[in-house]
């Protein structure tokens, strides 16, 4: 009996040691090596299942959030503009553009403009176009925190003629976590076009067969004079079975009531609920669903405050503090917004969207490795990706410039626009 008890006790200790080791490995990999952390999570799902892995991830994110709060309270961590955290690579071709000094140059903000200079990615070559009579600028962003420059639009991506086609700014939407800085990129849809690519492997549903897809940006769009930026898609097919279609290939059928972004043959981008705001049409070139709408008719969807994995996190619920990303449209439908930031719950992403005055918005992918945005430039011989967050998005920055396993979006310059 005593030997049997020792055997069971030893087994328990070994099991506990394995769990502790798994936690330490995952925690360190998620924090320092996002790519390895993402692969480790996928590996564990095949061994201990989705739910057990999700519980472990949620615990890791809770510990990570607690550590961040302690570091901030002790002054070991400070909030600063994400693109000031590190400079672009020396090989990048950049222009230092002084922050606008007059109210007419930026969206209204209760805070002064940045006193430092912000690099503007120069995308070359670009079609020669005549500048518009009235320079485009996105609508105002309401500052949520105290950091200088919050809510001030800074020119981000321009064409060859020097006209800005995308701006960026940041906000502090969570008073409990001042270090949560959400970057916002705004694209002028009168000058740019959104594209969507199905990954080589995902999204898909296990047991189903779809035509082979390249997982690459179409050759007609993969040009240094057109391609402006790339950013992440939504959840994996096995984590919610959210619909996806591109190039005539339906990877996963659409479901009524889900948040959907649709791209039409004339370049129009619409966002809303499938079956209500967006209906099946032969004019739709691509569409992607993910969760429920976060913002609907310029109001926060009450479901955002329901901490359900079904609504907001696939395996992780909406209350999980992690990297999140989202896509939104302005009330006039002429501005496309991309949102991304760390240490966010679903309702904080909604607050960020409301601060930008969007009419409709949806969540895209979550977690640090999968949330990724890069501006694309050319050095004359090849295209180079520059991450929106120079430090946190430095891993596999060119992932979408080659065939990729997961789905993603890209933005290109419209040809022939004035």
Taking the C-alpha atoms of residue 107 and residue 143, their distance in angstroms, rounded to an integer, is: 11
The per-residue pLDDT for range 149-178, each reduced to its tens digit, is 999 999 999 988 889 999 999 999 999 999
Pair of tokens at residue 311: 């609504």
Please give the Cα distance from 412 to 393 (Å, whole number): 21
pLDDT (tens digit per residue) in 240-290: 889 999 999 999 999 999 999 999 999 999 999 999 999 999 999 999 999
CA 282, distance to chain mean position in Å, is 28
Cα(121)–Cα(136) distance, integer angstroms: 17
Rounded to an integer, the average pLDDT of 107-131 is: 43
Alpha carbons 57 and 317: distance in angstroms, whole number: 11
Q: Tell whether the model's pLDDT for residue 406 goes beyond 90.
A: yes
- Enter the pTM of the model: 0.80
CA angle 196, 322, 395 (to 5 degrees): 60
Alpha-carbon distances of 32 from 174, 318, 368, rounded to whole Å: 24, 24, 10
* pLDDT reading at 40 higher than 60: no
Quick one: pLDDT at residue 249? 96
Is the peptide bond prior to 125 cis by the omega test (within 30 degrees of 0)? yes
Looking at residue 266, its pLDDT comes to 96
**pLDDT for 22 beyond 60:** no
What pLDDT score was predicted for residue 45? 60
Tokens coding 349: 């992403």
Structure tokens at 363: 């969540």
Q: Give CA–CA dist 86/23, Å, rounded.
A: 30
Residue 117's closest CA among 91, 81, 146, 93? 81
In the Cβ-directed half-sphere of 186, how many Cα atoms lie within 13 Å? 28
SS (H, E, C) 223-241: CCCCEEEEEECCCCCCCCC
Cβ-proximal residues to 53 (8 Å cutoff; 6+ apart), any chain: 41, 44, 45, 315
Residue positions counted in the chain? 418
Q: Point out which residues pair with 173 in neighbouring strands.
A: none
Q: Where is average pLDDT lowest: 68-77, 104-113, 217-226?
A: 104-113
At 132, is the pLDDT very low, low, confident or very high (cuts 50, 70, 90)?
very low
Of 368, 414, 361, nearest to 395 by C-alpha is 368
Tokens of 418: 């004035």
Distances (CA, A) of 321 to 51, 68, 198, 347: 18, 11, 28, 10
Q: Are strands 335-344 and 360-366 parallel, antiparallel or unpaired?
A: unpaired
- Distances in Å between the Cα of 125 and the Cα atoms of 36, 158, 216 are 36, 11, 22
Q: What is the mean pLDDT of residues 74-101?
A: 51
At residue 324, what are phi and psi to the nearest 5 degrees? -140, 155
Q: How far from 345 is each of 77, 210, 278, CA to CA, in Å?
A: 20, 34, 27
**pLDDT above 50 for 183:** yes
Closest CA to 61 of 402, 285, 366, 400: 366
The residues spanned by each domain of the chain are 2-73, 85-418
Kindly indicate the confidence band of residue 103, based on its pLDDT and cuts at 50, 70 and 90. Answer: very low
H or E element, residue 5: helix 2-32
**Lowest-pLDDT range of 72-86, 219-233, 378-392:** 72-86
> pLDDT: is 156 or 418 the higher one?
156
Query: How confident is residue 10, by pLDDT bands cut at 50, 70 and 90?
Result: low
* Cβ contact 118:99 at 8 Å: yes
Q: Percentage of residues in the chain with pLDDT exceeding 70?
A: 70
- Between 121 and 166, the higher pLDDT residue: 166
What span, in angstroms and rounded, lies between the C-alpha atoms of 56 and 412?
39
Confidence of residue 210 (pLDDT cuts 50, 70, 90): confident
The pLDDT, as a whole number, for residue 99 is 35
Residue 302: pLDDT band by 50, 70, 90 thresholds?
A: very high
- Residue in the structure block whose two tokens are 């070359």: 124
């Amino acid at each position: 009996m005593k030997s049997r008890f020792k055997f069971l006790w030893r087994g328990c200790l070994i099991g506990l040691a394995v769990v502790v080791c798994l936690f330490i490995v995952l925690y360190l990999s998620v924090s320092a090596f996002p790519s390895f952390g993402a692969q480790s999570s996928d590996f564990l799902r095949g061994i201990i299942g989705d739910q057990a892995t999700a519980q472990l991830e949620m615990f890791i994110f809770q510990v990570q959030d607690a550590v961040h709060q302690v570091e901030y309270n002790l002054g070991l961590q400070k909030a600063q503009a994400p693109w000031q955290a590190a400079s672009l690579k020396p090989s990048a071709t950049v222009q230092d553009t002084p922050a606008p000094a007059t109210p007419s140059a930026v969206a209204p903000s209760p805070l002064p403009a940045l006193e430092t200079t912000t690099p503007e990615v120069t995308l070359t070559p670009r079609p020669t176009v005549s500048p518009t009579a009235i320079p485009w600028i996105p609508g105002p962003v309401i500052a949520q925190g105290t950091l200088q420059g919050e809510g001030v639009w800074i020119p981000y991506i321009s064409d060859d003629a020097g006209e800005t086609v995308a701006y960026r700014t940041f906000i502090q939407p969570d008073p409990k976590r001042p270090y949560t800085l959400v970057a916002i990129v705004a694209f002028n849809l009168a000058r740019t076009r959104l594209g969507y690519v199905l990954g080589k492997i995902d999204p898909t549903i296990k047991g189903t067969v779809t035509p082979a897809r390249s997982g690459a940006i179409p050759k007609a769009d993969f040009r240094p004079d057109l391609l402006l930026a790339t950013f992440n898609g939504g959840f994996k097919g096995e984590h919610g079975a959210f619909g996806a279609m591109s190039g005539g290939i339906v990877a996963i059928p659409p479901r009524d009531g889900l948040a959907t972004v649709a791209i039409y043959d004339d370049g129009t981008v619409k966002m809303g609920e499938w079956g209500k705001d967006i209906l099946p049409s032969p004019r739709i070139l691509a569409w992607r669903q993910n969760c429920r709408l976060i913002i609907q008719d310029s109001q926060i969807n009450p479901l955002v405050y329901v901490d359900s994995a079904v609504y907001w996190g696939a395996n992780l619920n909406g209350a999980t503090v992690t990297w999140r990303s989202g896509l939104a449209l302005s009330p006039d439908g002429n501005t496309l917004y991309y949102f991304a930031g760390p240490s966010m719950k679903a309702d904080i992403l909604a607050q960020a969207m409301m601060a930008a005055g969007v009419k409709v918005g949806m969540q895209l992918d979550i977690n640090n490795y999968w949330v990724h945005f890069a501006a694309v430039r050319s050095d004359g011989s090849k295209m180079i990706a520059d991450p929106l967050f120079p430090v946190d998005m430095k891993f596999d920055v060119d992932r979408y410039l080659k065939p990729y396993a997961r789905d993603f979006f890209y933005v290109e310059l419209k040809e022939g626009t004035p």
